[in-house]
A and B are shown apart, each in its own frame.
Chain A
Amino acid sequence: MRSFLLKRSSLRPLLISQNPKPPNPVFHTSQSNSTYIYGSTIRDWMSSNGYSQINKYSNGYDRFVANSISTRCFSSQGAAVDEQQPKSSDGLTVDRIVSSGWAILEEGEGDWKSHAAAIAQSIQLIKRRLQWRKLMVRLEMLSVELNKPNIWDDPVHAGNISREHGSLLGKMKGVNGFERELLEHIDMLKLAKEENDAELELESMKALLNMRRSVKEKELEALLAGEQDPCSCFIEVQAGAGGTESMDWASMIMNMYKMWANNRGYKVTVVDEMAGEIAGIKRATIKVDGEYAFGYAKAEVGVHRLVRISPFDSGKRRHTSFAAVAVIPILGGSSSHFQINESDLRIERFRAGGAGGQHVNTTESAVRIIHIPTGVTATCQNERSQHQNKAMAMAVLQSRLDQLEMARQAQLNAQHTQSLTDISWGNQIRTYVLHPYRMVKDLRTNYEVSDPDSVLEGDIDGFILSFLSASLDKDEDNS
């Protein structure tokens, strides 16, 4: 116990001023309920779903949370990091709280130790999800870089460094803030007990309970702490080999994402769509607008496999089809973009027939843009004017080039960023079986669901969250 014990009245303000609240933006502000935009719902309605807009949003999320709680493992942090941790007046740290193995009881039960242990556990999980050790190393590196005297000779580079530094620093301070807050509450509680101050004790317990809840929420947010996670994104689906069968599957998958995005309150715009001759799509690109669209959708990158009795096979045989999914973040204004040189672009109107101009009146104004040095192309045909098709194609192109550039940078820095684990179309990630049994199983996490219909109606959050947590936990363990 500190020797300078003061009367409660003077102590409280002191504690508060010594330990100001953590800076506000910790990881991310919770999911905004962005507006349900007219275009997307109508389009949805007009698409093959008939007119019964399904608003069922069943609880993959809850299911997942329950799951993750029971399977989570609590490895303790390294000793080196332990040294820098905030301590309570009697030398308690978050790690020590965890390792002392206090029983974690339901919120309504138990004493302060139960709350403290739950909070400490959450903080550890958050740290793991933020890839804490890598974060510290990177932060150190960036600080060194920023302190170089000539850093501003290259303002673009300097801007990037300082932006990343700022964002990592914010995360670190956020977590440290939690640690301090927890220990403060504990100190306060012990003080109250010592002084037999029932009122203060009750207050501190309440504060601890509140913190327990809010930190629990932050656990989930920490899954989306990647630099690009808050971005909107493009989702692209491409049919695998196998003709109509796969094209039909590709359109089912695309539909799944449209419904998922709608349910989340994101705005969906079809950018480009190449229909199959008989059914389905050869490929399609949609734009998904909204906070954290990329953070979630990135978990879907890879090949999706379907097993079913083919509706296109008169012999009623079982077929396996494949569709590949790619997800590209749309970097915000503050991010560094790949610099596109006007003169490197070839802009073509495609499917333009005949003499054009006054001779022709067509509502078709599709545009393709080719970035000549890289051969990367982008197409848009779904807007109502050529100008807007061009603008949208340009946006797609920019994002594709940004992504290429990020991959290149990541290789250069040998820096592993979670969003870049699978930049390409990737490996097979999930199987959807409609026959002879019914199941959807993620091959990366083994997470599975026995109701393929709900999944194909967009209920994929369980898959997404289990993948995100699995990949982050795995990463930290391997480092």
Chain B
Amino acid sequence: MGETESDTGKTDKTIFNTEETRFVVISWERWVEIASEVGQGNKMVRICFSSSIRQTLYPSARFVKYLQKPLPTKSSSSSSSSFSTTPLFLRPPIHSASFPDLKNWQDWAKHLALSVGPKFVEADNGPDADLLCRELKWLLQDAVVDDENDAGFVKLRADLEEMYALWTQRIEERRPFQYLVGCEHWRDLVLCVQEGVLIPRPETEHIVDMVEEVICEDEGMREGLWVDLGTGSGALAVGIGRMLGDGGRLIATDLSPVAGSVTAFNVRRYGLQDKVDVRLGSWFEPLQDVNGKPVGLVSNPPYIPGDHIFGLQAEVARHEPRIALDGGENGMDALLHLCEGAATLMKPGGFFALETNGEKQPEFLVDFMTSKMKGRFRDVRVVSDFAGVQRFVSGFCC
């Protein structure tokens, strides 16, 4: 922590510094000030609306992340990312605890997890005690730095007090594990997530496999333009972006600014900022300038029928953003919109893959694409996920 002179001569309280970025806590007034400067386009800073959690923790403050002024010699991309809460595993290990203290914490947390028993499973198909215990192990994995030299003490990325608070949130508020630690392991990636953005699901990993198959068969696809609509944390964008060749590009879009900033953060973390472009806006709106160009389109749009959401497990219903889940009355609003738009947006021969709720939706979509939109798509098929659910619809544009 420290007082740092900002570019405008005001002092902001720095809470975390990395080589290229500085995290600061600022007042509401200062926030407005910076926001307006950014609006004028003369500031190397991106601002992130902080999550509700952080607002309750620091009611009068907001987090922003400065991009430290780039050195004039270094070429730098202007697409900075802002990410209000630093994921646990990326925080510096500036805390420590004695083994007995940490052990006490672990015993307490384990006890709390075990006390859940089958309660959550019975209530809403939530996690059971076993699963919670595994999460506990992973929480330690992210929080503890194993340093053999420091006998008797362990270095931590969060102090014990926060560890107690986090695990209490997990059990009592059913706050998703991935929000606690600020990341989700997805494929071979570690994606940063926070409240306000959907935690990527294991099923969705399969879309990357499908794309890989297509790219392997037609190397030209590797050098083309891809789009990921409703990118959320940027899971698909990063997963696919990493497979593209030197000429390949990807545009990731989302309506939610939080999703936009989290995606930008993840894209940067994987060094893809020159390949992946993040744009804010509704579905095809930000893609006007690339009409007819994309060779591939992927999307996992919101597909849950609106009135089903409250019946979902607490982790989802209470904590994940509704905008990422709610697909309208029958869940098909976005999916149908995407089908229609894809036919116009895509280059002929382009590949698409969409995720669905796995029930009636895939069948309905296939029917829609092959009859209502006859002649616009070919090889439309339903692909199952590893649980045997008919999860995806894929095909090519004509």
Contacts and interface: CB of A to CB of B under 8 A. Distances in A.
Given A356-B391, A390-B386, 13 more contacts: A38-B145, A42-B140, A357-B357, A357-B389, A358-B300, A358-B302, A358-B304, A358-B316, A364-B131, A367-B386, A383-B185, A386-B202, A387-B188
A39 B203 CA distance: 26
B149 to A, nearest CB: 12
A38 B391 contact: no
A359 B312 contact: yes
B235 to A, nearest CB: 11
A386 B184 CA distance: 11
Interface in A11-57: 36, 38-39, 41-43, 46, 50-51
Nearest to B325: A358
B77 to A, nearest CB: 28
A185 to B, nearest CB: 44
B164 interface: no
A24 B373 CA distance: 70
B188 A356 contact: no
Contacts, number: 121
A312 to B, nearest CB: 19
B228 interface: no
Given A356-B385, A385-B186, A51 B102 contact: yes
A355 interface: yes
Interface stretch (A163-171, A229-237, A238-246, A345-353): A345-353
Interface string A302-340: 000000000000000000000000000000000000000
Interface string A102-141: 0000000000000000000000000000000000000000
Nearest to A43: B137
A308 B176 CA distance: 44
A360 B144 contact: no
B185 A385 contact: yes
A353 B324 CA distance: 21
B206 to A, nearest CB: 9
Interface string A382-406: 1111111011000000000000000
Contact of B201 (A36, A38, A358, A391): A358
20 contacts: A41-B148, A50-B103, A51-B100, A275-B130, A348-B387, A349-B385, A352-B386, A356-B391, A357-B204, A357-B355, A357-B358, A361-B199, A361-B313, A364-B127, A385-B185, A385-B202, A386-B386, A387-B188, A387-B202, A390-B386
Nearest to B198: A358
A425 B49 CA distance: 59
B141 interface: yes
Contact of A356 (B127, B140, B205, B389): B389
Interface string B177-202: 11000001111110000000011011
A50 B106 CA distance: 10
Given A42-B141, A364-B131, A387-B188, A356 B199 contact: no
A374 interface: no
Contacts of A347: 386
A365 B187 CA distance: 11
Contacts of A361: 176, 178, 199, 201, 313, 315-316, 320
A50 B205 CA distance: 37
A411 to B, nearest CB: 35
A414 to B, nearest CB: 42
B205 A387 contact: yes
Contacts of B127: 362-364
Interface string B356-387: 11110000000000000000000000000111
B99 A51 contact: yes
A39 B186 CA distance: 19
A46 B134 contact: no
Contacts of B386: 347-349, 352, 367, 386, 390
Contacts of B300: 358
B3 interface: no
Contact of A360 (B102, B125, B177, B356): B125
